[in-house]
Amino acid sequence: MIMKNSLLFTALCLLGYACGGPGSSATKSITVKGSDTVLPVAQKTAESFMAANPGVSITVVGGGSGTGLTALMDGNTDIAMSSRDLKADEKLKLQDKQIEFEIKTLAVDALAVIVHPSNPVQRLTREQLEGIFTGSITNWKDLGGEDAPIVVYSRENSSGTYEFFKEHVMDKKNYASSVLNMPATGAIVQSISQTTGAIGYIGFAYMTPEVKPLEVSYDQGQTFVGPSMESAKDKSYPISRPLYYLYDVKNAEKVAAYMDYVLSAEGQQIVEQVGYIPLSK
Amino acid sequence: MKRLVERSAEGLIKACGFASALTVLLIVFFLFKEGISFLNSSPVEDHHALFVHSGNPVTQLEEGQIKDLFDKKINHWKQLTDYGHPVVLLTANDLERLFTPEQLGNNLEYLSACVAHYIDTVPGTLAYFSERQLSLSPAIRIVPVPNISLWKFLSGRQWFPTAQPAAMMGTLPLILGTLLVSLLAILIALPLGLAAAIYLAEIADPRMRNILKPVIELLSGIPSVVYGFFGLVVIVPFIQNLFGLPVGETALAGSLLLAIMALPTIITVSEDAIRTCPIAVKEASLALGASHWQTIFRVILPYASSGITAAAILGIGRAVGETMAVLMVTGNAALMPTSLTQPVRTIPATIAAELGEASFGGLHFKALFALGCLLFLITLATNLLVERTTSKSRKS
């Protein structure tokens, strides 16, 4: 009986899928797809843009930078959100397909290096961070802390944040195999808040009082700067990255109004509300 | 008329059966088509290659050596071959630092000449460039990188699918991690589930049963993300404090969580199996003077053994394929598992975490499909194994 039911169910699902294709709508609709880091900005700006322009409907979908860029190449989305630049193989694919992308920076994200609040360590140099994440420094006592093993948390290897941190903090060296990969930034915050020896990195927008940000030095320990809106704006905080919107050049007219809105003073105010650093004019 | 209705109903059911069988076959075909094309491809990105000075005697570079070279763990060519020069790395990111824009040209048309000249003057250079950007000259040559073989895929111990220039696709830690977590989960869940099923079917009074059964069935309706969150907030700190570990995201946490998730399936299916035991058989056993316990262990359980096996298979299936919950509590470090209190990375968690960001149709994407094939083969093997043992025990 169960078997027959499940067969029937499968058949119904197939039938439903076959009939319920994507519907077309009369209003002008724009799809924005990609990076989960950019997602909150896209959602907020889309909401207020739609409120001001009733004729336009904007659909915002997450899924990751790679998903968005693939969808853009296949023409399944109008705008791709990305927290990283195009990869070499993606650029080659664009060349082959003869598509040209326009790439626009819409905000800047600062990455905070965080530890458990009870950790006495306040500041680290880039070289020390490199040592921690590549696995050559494994105990807090080498960094002026207590005699306890360091538990390193990172994002998944497919995430734009992972690549950015590798390129700009770890001198392009690979992460140690023992690094714990978490599926989401929220999970990193949760884990670090309950693990005393933990260290990790998160987008500045995700900062909470349950974790402690470290001051970072990029000049061998002469000046240390902590992550804050001010230090990111005046570019004294070294670990920050641009967030992108990409669209097909042929599609420029369709998305122009929304793109202008995101880059306008009003749009940039939303960027700041969400917790990212607006573009300085 | 009635006959016609019956016949068409029969036809419809038949069509449904064929449709679902066909769907399964199509999925398997698609999975293996994508997965197998991954083998025998180069770990270096398409149209990219590693270039060295033509005087460099190195014959080929393995992925592991390339990773060590670019991680600056190998600093001198002497560590690899008979060549007395220190390693100097050169990639597209170094161009601005080494050459002026005038030297490179507006559209990088002089790039080839610049790089060739650089390699010629610095004999220890290891350059990583697109073959389209860099044309060969007598001073430089390409170092071949061996393709990914099935053996390397299965026995490699390092999983760095996005490493540049050469990806490392060793799945051994992932396979072992998956097996460890699921086997331990089923070892915890099966005795517990069986005990609960016996209690529900034979011992509990109907009122108790009417309360417990819906509650247990409710457990299977909880989404796995919710389980995962529960695991991260409750089980992970619990294990960390219990064993005094530096980190709570461990194989043990994953197994415990999976055991909890597999329990409702195991309890419901095996309880149903136990209840199918005919009352006449039970009464015969009791009439012969066997106690209630003896009846349960000598008569009812053997009678229900095939149903209990089915419960175990379903439980294992759930454990091996479970994604989200495991992703959140096992820490996902691709290490060779040596103890239960250490983070592990499982195959489903790897696929779920990486597929969204992998570029479509690329090497990483295909490697994840190959992982899917592996997972499919693992579940198929466990199912066949269990099926085999039960058919044997039923005969004897």
CB–CB of B231/B253 below 8 Å? yes
Res A2: pLDDT: 42
Give the residue from chain A lying closest to B159, CA to CA. A177
Q: Above 90 in pLDDT, residue B191?
A: yes
Concatenating the DSSP letter of every residue in B278-346 gives -HHHHHHHHHTT--HHHIIIIIIHHHTHHHHHHHHHHHHHHHHH--HHHHHHSB---PPP-STTS-B--
> Which residue type, as a one-letter code, is found at position A119?
N
Q: Above 90 in pLDDT, residue B37?
A: no
pLDDT category, B81, cuts 50, 70, 90?
confident
To the nearest whole angstrom, how far is the Cα of B101 from the nearest Cα of chain A?
A: 21
Res A186: pLDDT: 83
Nearest Cβ partner of A156 from B19, B70, B354? B354
Q: What are phi and psi of A243, to 5 degrees?
A: -110, 140
pLDDT category, B357, cuts 50, 70, 90?
low
Residue that wins the pLDDT comparison between A71 and B108:
A71
From the number of C-beta atoms within 10 Å of its C-beta (0-12, 13-18, 19+), residue A52 rates as exposed
Residues from chain B contacting residue A174 (CB–CB below 8 Å): 67, 70-71, 160, 163
CB-based contact, B225 to chain A, within 8 Å = no
pLDDT, mean of residues B170-187: 92
Concatenating the DSSP letter of every residue in B145-175 gives -PPPPHHHHHH---EETT-SSB-EE--HHHH
Q: Is A158 in Cβ contact with B358 (below 8 Å)?
A: yes
State CA B221 to chain mean position distance. 24
CB-based contact, A193 to chain B, within 8 Å = no
DSSP secondary-structure letter at B123?
Answer: T
For tokens 């309890």, the residue is B267
Between chain A and chain B, the number of residue pairs with CB atoms below 8 A apart is: 132
Residues from chain B contacting residue A64 (CB–CB below 8 Å): 356-357
pLDDT, mean of residues B200-222: 89
CB-based contact, B381 to chain A, within 8 Å = no
Q: What is the mean pLDDT of chain B?
A: 87
CB-based contact, B345 to chain A, within 8 Å = yes
Residues from chain B contacting residue A160 (CB–CB below 8 Å): 357
To the nearest whole angstrom, how far is the Cα of A262 from the nearest Cα of chain B?
A: 24
Instruction: Round to whole Å and give the CA distance between A167 and B162.
Output: 13
Res A16: pLDDT: 41
Res A198: pLDDT: 93
pLDDT category, B363, cuts 50, 70, 90?
confident
C-alpha closest to that of B326 among A226, A162, A181: A181
pTM equals: 0.79
Residues from chain A contacting residue B248 (CB–CB below 8 Å): 194-195
Residues from chain B contacting residue A118 (CB–CB below 8 Å): none
To the nearest whole angstrom, how far is the Cα of A49 from the nearest Cα of chain B?
A: 28
Residues making up chain A, counted from first to last: 281
Interface mutation target, options B23, B25, B344, B359, chain A, most CBs of A under 10 Å:
B359
Res A162: pLDDT: 87
Res A49: pLDDT: 92
Q: Above 50 in pLDDT, residue B362?
A: yes
> Which residue type, as a one-letter code, is found at position B162?
T
**Region of A221 on the Ramachandran plot (φ > 0 left; ψ -120 to 50 alpha; else beta):** left
Token pair, residue B67, equals: 């990773």
To the nearest whole angstrom, how far is the Cα of A51 from the nearest Cα of chain B?
A: 31
Neighbours of B267 (CB within 10 A): 29
To the nearest whole angstrom, how far is the Cα of B288 from the nearest Cα of chain A?
A: 36
The answer for A 54-83 residues in CB contact with B (under 8 A) is: 63-67, 69-70, 73-74
Residues from chain A contacting residue B19 (CB–CB below 8 Å): 10-11, 14
Q: Above 70 in pLDDT, residue B392?
A: no
Res B21: pLDDT: 93
Interface mutation target, options A2, A3, A6, A7, chain B, most CBs of B under 10 Å:
A7
B234-259 tens-digit pLDDT: 999 999 999 988 888 999 999 999 99
To the nearest whole angstrom, how far is the Cα of A258 from the nearest Cα of chain B?
A: 25
Res B107: pLDDT: 65
Residues from chain B contacting residue A191 (CB–CB below 8 Å): 232, 236, 249
DSSP secondary-structure letter at B200?
Answer: I
Q: Is B72 in Cβ contact with A7 (below 8 Å)?
A: no
Q: Which residues contact A55 (CB under 8 A, 6 or more apart)?
A: A27, A28
CB-based contact, B232 to chain A, within 8 Å = yes
Q: What are phi and psi of B179, to 5 degrees?
A: -65, -45
Res B394: pLDDT: 60
Q: Is A187 in Cβ contact with B353 (below 8 Å)?
A: no
Res A192: pLDDT: 92
CB-based contact, A198 to chain B, within 8 Å = yes
pLDDT category, B94, cuts 50, 70, 90?
confident
pLDDT, mean of residues B60-81: 88
Residues from chain A contacting residue B352 (CB–CB below 8 Å): 183
Q: ipTM higher than 0.90?
A: no
pLDDT, mean of residues B288-307: 89
To the nearest whole angstrom, how far is the Cα of A176 from the nearest Cα of chain B?
A: 9
Q: Above 80 in pLDDT, residue B104?
A: no
Res A10: pLDDT: 46
CB-based contact, B19 to chain A, within 8 Å = yes
Res A9: pLDDT: 46
Q: Is A173 in Cβ contact with B72 (below 8 Å)?
A: yes
CB-based contact, B26 to chain A, within 8 Å = no
Neighbours of A50 (CB within 10 A): 16
% of chain B at pLDDT higher than 90: 29
Instruction: Round to whole Å and give the CA distance between A161 and A239.
Output: 11
Q: Is A195 in Cβ contact with B246 (below 8 Å)?
A: yes
Taking 70 as the pLDDT cut, the residues of chain A under it are 1-27, 88-89, 92, 158, 281
